[in-house]
Structure 1
């Protein structure tokens, strides 16, 4: 982490601290509008809940499904058969918005009726719940999967489109407000005692919005170092991208850059679901040297057969694929916007977001230097093992809970 931001974040750069926190909640409520157990966000939520359960502080989990068997079922409330399923015919954003609102209603009622002493939830899921917790003096921890909603930009209280939305007749206005609005999410930020950010870049967007650095806590992700293990460098230079094939991930820029480089005896492998917006780029810049695999259940098999992972994303909290690729011993080419796993010149190369020339130079540098690829890959694996296992993540999370309680007590005493 950069010295400026890491010193501003309570989590700090030393994330391998294994000490037992001195102060923890006794009964935590964890809520998320995703599943508990699986992949992606579902896996992140499971690892967080596992940490609370192992520490003996888990009171209840409310999620939309339970796909794991390690956490006792009596501690997990699944909303799998929720009444909002009747509205599944709605377009995706409105349906998921309705799910979030139902989860929030259920959890706010739980806070009012039960004796929880901390709430941990996710941005967009918890406005009512946090309001109820604030009434009762219960500390709240808010997790941000990407960046501040304003993305580091100055915005008015209401934009033109938001004013137009609020002027709609009541039934339509209610429908358009099913997805969490920017105003609702900003209120969640204000209600949270501690906000968990995944990277320096994510933290910057909150600092730019005027947030007190003391309310931010650095919480990078982790990965499974037993599942994601190194392979051997292939004889053919093989670059891999893993993630949804969309513009936000920089796939359009990667395809154009790869096409223009026209490297000999080289292959670009794209692992992930193809979004419609990227189809024209595949048609224009694809070819014999580009292979589209689609979504796979075992990306580690593809990492192990590759030379370098390229992930030129324009906006991430901290991309999970960068942890997994590094655990597989791959050098990476990423952007600062992708997270903090890659240290420029150590275990990969960090290029400016959206800069085609810089991306091309980075690819050529690793293409022409297999020894550098190997040394960066070794450093990548070591960095993950030393800093970013799921055990490291769970210890950081407990430190975040400890800090939230300390902040709440300090605020109460000074009031």
Structure 2
């Protein structure tokens, strides 16, 4: 149906639909093992691309509700050993009578929202000019829904220790820590791989920094622009790939210091990574950013915060304890002025990435299911 829509659409719209589809496709995905429910995901994506954030949010809520209804129907009709749900859309399924005899696994993809609300208040105090209209606290209703998921789940999986710690720190649900465990994410090893040889960085050229993701305050994009403002253009350049979510008036002050590339199909990201030296992700709040693993696999050094998730080690990058403009500037300059260290970090990066292979991720899932369903 979607392929027919692309063929019938006007040339410009058809190419945009094809690019959107390319973001979700994978050659090894077996379509016969995938079930889908409803049209809401596509409507939500269209609304977001059109800048209609509130409409997209309403469609998302309805889509999650409809999908939950479909899953409950499947559970009622078929013998299913385990249901694996993601945060924000699993409460109804986990609480349904149909799931009573099914092992319920919650994949918590981001830290507890109470932590973000506290961080947002700090950002407003220190960097208030950078906040956009969409940077708002998460509602008590959403947080209560998350607590219901924590409570109903038999197991809670987190992509990083930071996420697991935030649940135990903020949620009043009793017994949450014992059923919480770590399942590190993986990257696509077929798509992201280092160049045959990582060339030595030129000492007389700017160090090439890269940021990939939503360009907003949650990911610390404003800190990177502030840090770069005090570094000469002859020493470092910056490319930012992703949807711009910072206020235009603030971005305009730094427009001469970075190149902005809007969202791209994932298949184009490896080529961009191989044209840079360092990925920078100074996030305040994440689950565990897969882009860190993709960058390591591509042979980039990484500068990240601890909250950004599992990624760099001291062999392959610099991990900041917290988001901070001065600390970020110091980390960047330390590599600008020590290209030998930069080269050493880049050479070690692919080896660090191998710990997050797809095979290791599958082994983690297999071990979990073997233990819980025995």
Q: Provide TM-score, normalisation by structure 1.
A: 0.70
1:226, 1:123 → 2: CA distance?
Answer: 28
Structure 1: gaps of 5 or more residues: 1-36, 43-66, 155-177, 407-415
What residue number does 1:188 align with? 149
Per the alignment, do residues 233 and 325 of structure 1 end up closer, same or farther by CA in structure 2, a change over 3 Å counting? farther
Question: Do structure 1's residue 382 and structure 2's residue 319 form an aligned pair?
Answer: no
Any residues of structure 2 matched to 1:341-360 within 5 Å, and which?
341-343=311-313, 345-360=314-329
Structure 1 residue aligned with 2:18: none
Report how far residue 361 of structure 1 moved.
Answer: 0.7
Hey, what's the Cα distance between the residues in 2 that align with 1:223 and 1:381?
Answer: 12
Query: Which residue is equivalent to 2:333?
Result: 364
Residue in structure 1 matching 2:242, options 272, 287, 290: 272
Matches within 5 A, 1:17-32: none
- CA-to-partner distance for each residue in 1:264-318, whole Å, 9 max, x for gaps? 242111111212x34233211231x421122223111121111111110111111
Is 1:148 paired with 2:128?
no
Relative to structure 1, is the Cα distance of residues 181 and 305 closer, same or farther in structure 2, using a 3 angstrom cutoff? same
Determine whether 1:106 maps to 2:70.
Answer: yes
CA RMSD of aligned residues (A): 2.9
Closer/same/farther in 2, CA of residues 146 and 223 from structure 1, 3 Å limit: same
Once the two structures are TM-superposed, the CA of residue 117 in structure 1 deviates from its matched residue by 1.2
User: Residues 135 and 266 from structure 1, CA distance in 2 versus in 1: closer, same or farther, beyond 3 angstroms?
Assistant: closer
Equivalent residue for 2:263? 295
Match of 2:360 among 383, 387, 392: 392
The 5 A counterparts of 1:9-408 are 39=23, 67=25, 70=28, 72-81=30-39, 91-132=55-96, 136-151=100-115, 181-208=142-169, 209=171, 211-231=175-195, 232-235=199-202, 236=205, 237-275=207-245, 277-287=246-256, 289-297=257-265, 298-343=268-313, 345-385=314-354, 387-405=355-373
Matched-pair contact (CA < 8 Å) for 2:297–2:349: yes
**Higher share of residues assigned helix:** 2
The alignment's TM-score, normalised by the length of structure 2, stands at: 0.77
Q: Deviations over 1:353-395 (max 9, x none)?
A: 231111111001011111111111122110112x111111111
Cα deviation digits, residues 318-367 of structure 1 (max 9, x gap): 10110100001111110001002112x32111113231111111001011
Match of 1:51 in 2: none
CA distance in 1, matches of 2:222, 2:240: 12
Between 182-191 and 256-265, the greater mean CA deviation after superposition: 256-265
What 5-or-longer segments of structure 2 have no aligned partner? 1-20, 119-138
